[in-house]
Chains A and B, each alone.
Chain A
Amino acid sequence: MEIVLAWLPRLLVAAALTIGLSAVVFTLSAVVGLLLSLVHYGREKSWLRNGIEAFSAFFRSVPELVVLFLFFFGGPQIGIDFGPIGSTIIAFALVGIAFDYQVFKGALKVVPFGQYEAGLALGLSKRIVFLRVLIPQILPLARKGWITYAIGTVKRMSIASAVSVSEILYVTKQGIAATNAPFTFLSLAVGLYILIVTPLLVFNERKPKQAVAR
């Protein structure tokens, strides 16, 4: 109990870091992933889309830890030191973009292409059609896959402990080394993860409100 009280402040700071990093990665992945899914919308064949698909396949197949090492160890090799936090954000955002791109692409397929053509025929600009017609429809459709991935992002942040980012699991490891009470610390850590993730889980269980207009 004393151990817990002594280490709790550090664990809470670590939890705040986990939440902060996850929020940054979540936002970057969702925004860029969504934008990429709209690139060359409606075109069957496009070199740009093939490039995006290759990017997405790469970052979905390679372990996060390897991508993280690529920036953490590889950066200094070409003269750029991203640092632990920088490498973490870049690596996890790239993997997140690769996944969210697929989620939004899938949702976009459900919306009939005629809606886009109808919007343009009505004289709306492309930007307005995307912002007012397509995106409001794909967000609820994509929500489940998107939030499920976001939950994973919080948990995957634990991998950043490998490059000494002092998030929850890193502090937990330090605690274990200092006090030799692995179960106390790991229970606390898992408890913190559950606390962070539960609101997202609850949000994800709710039914989406609107269906696609036909």
Chain B
Amino acid sequence: MNILLDPTYQQMLFDGLVMTLLISVVVIIVSNLLALPLAIYMQRPKGAFRRVIIGYSFFARAAPVLALLFALYYGLPRFGIYLEPVPSALIGLIFASTAYNLEFLRSGFESIPSGQLDAAKALGLRPFATYWKVMIPQAYRLAGPSLFSNAIQMVKGSSLASLVAIDELTAASTVIISETYKAIEVLLVVSVFYLVIAAVIIALQYLYESRQSTRRR
């Protein structure tokens, strides 16, 4: 275990952890912010972009995340676009994550009885108020658990960024393993870091759900 007492390796793991947290937080926040307007747009019966969104969602969920990351990493320079590794990985992960969040919210909206929309209209609520006060809270109540578990998936997905030249937690572990050959020790420590991050997300989910259930009364 003495390799973990080595300050150089401690620093590498710490820097990796910070990068993992940074990527995860950005991906979770941005993909949730993007998914909501898309899901609301999909509630229209007609719309020019409906097919585009459906196509995007299918493609983003059918293609492996790693293939998306490779496309941005190896593919974009062919078009003369040179992105830094971090923004390029962020785009790939956000592209994939948004599609899942969009689908969870969509099925959340679709499970709300359509009579509620008519009722809101009859009460004279404007579209914005209808969504903000009636539709969105109910959609989130239904989509909540899926959105939280997708957040954990995205933390796990950030480990794939190690394969496109990003020094996050998993990449730090492979560097240390290649120098010390202590794979099990290093990977178990890294696993504990991921477990703690997942535990924090699950704790936030409990907090969110208990707040929701008190509000409903």
Contacts and interface: CB of A to CB of B under 8 A. Distances in A.
Interface of A: 57-58, 60-67, 69-70, 73-74, 76-78, 155-159, 161-162, 169, 172-173, 176, 182-183, 186, 189-190, 193-194, 197-198
A190 B66 contact: no
Contact of A65 (B67, B78, B152, B162): B162
A169 B64 CA distance: 9
Given A61-B194, A159-B66, A186 B71 contact: yes
A77 B184 contact: yes
A192 to B, nearest CB: 10
A69 B184 CA distance: 9
- Can you list the 6 inter-chain pairs with the closest CB atoms, starting with the nearest? A73-B183, A61-B198, A63-B159, A158-B64, A155-B64, A63-B156
15 contacts: A58-B195, A60-B198, A61-B152, A61-B194, A61-B195, A63-B155, A63-B160, A66-B190, A70-B188, A70-B191, A159-B160, A176-B74, A182-B74, A193-B63, A198-B62
A125 to B, nearest CB: 37
Interface of B: 59, 62-67, 70-71, 74-75, 78, 152, 155-160, 162-163, 170, 173-174, 177, 181-184, 187-188, 190-191, 194-195, 197-199
A157 B63 CA distance: 12
The dominant DSSP class at the B interface is helix
B182 A64 contact: no
The dominant DSSP class at the A interface is helix
A45 B21 CA distance: 35
Nearest to B157: A63
Contact of B75 (A70, A156, A169, A183): A183
A37 to B, nearest CB: 18
A95 B181 CA distance: 24
B194 A62 contact: yes
A173 B183 CA distance: 26
A156 B66 CA distance: 8
A66 B67 contact: no
Contact of A158 (B66, B159, B181): B66
Contacts of A77: 181-184
Contacts of A63: 155-160, 170, 194
B187 A190 contact: no
A74 B66 contact: no
A166 B12 CA distance: 30
A78 B188 CA distance: 14
